[in-house]
Amino acid sequence: MVMPIETQVANKRVILGLSGGVDSAVAAILLQRAGADVQALHMTNWEDDDGYCTAADDLQDARNICEQLGITLHHANFSRQYQDQVFEYFLEEYKVGRTPNPDVLCNREIKFGVFRDYAKRLGGDLLATGHYAQSDIVDGTGALFKGADPGKDQSYFLHAVSADALAETVFPLGDIQKNAVRQIARDSGLTVHDKKDSTGICFIGERPFREFLATYLPAKPGLMVTPGGEEIGMHQGLMYHTLGQRRGLQIGGRTDSSDEPWYVVGKNLEKNQLIVAQGEHKMLFSNSLLATDVSWIGTAPAGLTEGLRCRAKVRYRQVDQDCVVQVLNDGTAEVLFDEPQKAVAPGQFVVFYDNERCLGGAVVNKIG
């Protein structure tokens, strides 16, 4: 059982990451109720003034929240660090035809990296965010657990955060449901109680993705082919597509094929070809994967050399899948699933669990 928030924060200074949204606002309320000395820190990590980034509006919302709750607000600009430590990686992955997840790196490098360092300079004893997850100290080491709301649990995105950072972090929303969060905001008279949740790229906002990516990487059109090599159309750039993608292919309604939907099932980088197939094609499924950049929260679990039976997910909100993970001599992780997995995309993360506890994760490199 995770330690109650009152026990974690009473009489401690907690620096809360306040985005200006409803989740972090309610986190502030819950921290106050638990007896914490709460101060807020709002980050600016993207500065393009192109109509899609909502940084200015979010900062004003954060100011209003702090004024209403009587909380001191600090503001820091980490745009350079975000560019160097997150966004450059994001672009490099797309260059080589992979599908990155910048939220994982953003959490590790920014929210629980430079943000954490800044919070310490403000005299913070603990760091807090509005994530739906839970942290605790187990056998003297920081540990990560799933949030109580299965539809909002964000442990997948937090798996790369260090045990040291988790030992100094509290997640006030970890044990409550999303609908309760909005009700608390409503009852407290917060103007952001009905503010839309952000679903865009971490700190970049919700914008037309192809248009955005094309400003940084040149699009390279090529052929769209079946697994057998039949040419059936053109793609505008491999970087715009991911394995398992169904929408946006614009190849439906062919007289020489069935009515089954078309899916992206592969990429041929050398020939710049997008491979597509109809229906539940065998290329959509994989029984295993190889993963690199393996990170464990604290000490690596026992049994990895021989093969550790646990559960894993290869995308956010996927139901945990039974598997065996084995770390090979070169440091890569081989994951063997009990059941075939659909549309596993290189560049995404495989995250490992022991029941409710998140053990860590790795970057999907190859599928088998």
- Per-residue pLDDT tens over the stretch 119-168: 999 999 999 999 999 999 999 999 999 999 999 999 999 999 999 999 99
pTM of the model: 0.93
Output the pLDDT for position 213: 85
89 and 67 in a common domain: yes
The pLDDT value given to residue 6: 87
Q: Count how many domains the chain has.
A: 3
Indicate if 109 and 47 belong to the same structural domain.
yes
For residues 124 and 154, membership in a common domain is answered with: yes
Structure tokens at 107: 């959490």
Q: What pLDDT is attached to residue 251? A: 83
Residue 185 sits in the same domain as residue 301: no
In terms of Cα–Cα distance, which of 219, 195, 196 is closest to 209? Answer: 219
Q: Do residues 252 and 263 make contact, with C-beta atoms less than 8 angstroms apart?
A: no
Residue 48: is its pLDDT beyond 70? Answer: no
> Looking at the structure, do residues 187 and 95 belong to the same domain, yes or no?
yes
Same domain for 158 and 50? yes
Residue 251 and residue 296 in one domain? no
Say which residue, 207 or 258, is predicted with more confidence: 258
Q: Stretch 254-264: mean pLDDT, rounded?
A: 79
Confidence of residue 252 (pLDDT cuts 50, 70, 90): low
- Judge whether 106 lies within some domain: yes
15 shares its domain with 28: yes
Query: Do 15 and 140 fall into the same domain?
Result: yes
Structure tokens at 5: 């928030």
Provide the token pair at 196. 């839309």
CA nearest neighbour of 235 among 253, 247, 250 = 250
* Residue 207 located in a structural domain: no
pLDDT at 196: 83
- Which tokens go with 131? 């994530």
Domain boundary among 244, 263, 279: 279
Q: Are residues 351 and 225 in the same domain?
A: no
Residue 205 has what pLDDT?
A: 58
309 DSSP β-pair partners: 324
Q: Does residue 300 fall inside a structural domain?
A: yes
What does pLDDT average to over the chain?
A: 92
Domain that holds residue 106: 5-194
The C-alpha atoms of residue 146 and residue 297 are separated, in whole angstroms, by 14
232 and 322 together in one domain:
no
Evaluate if residue 201 carries a pLDDT over 80. Answer: no
pLDDT at 191 over 70: yes
Whether 200 has a pLDDT exceeding 80, the answer reads no
CA distance 361 to 354: 12
pLDDT band at 255 (very low <50, low <70, confident <90, very high): low
Give catalytic residues, as residue numbers. 106, 202
CA distance 225 to 277: 8
**Domain match, 177 and 308 both:** no
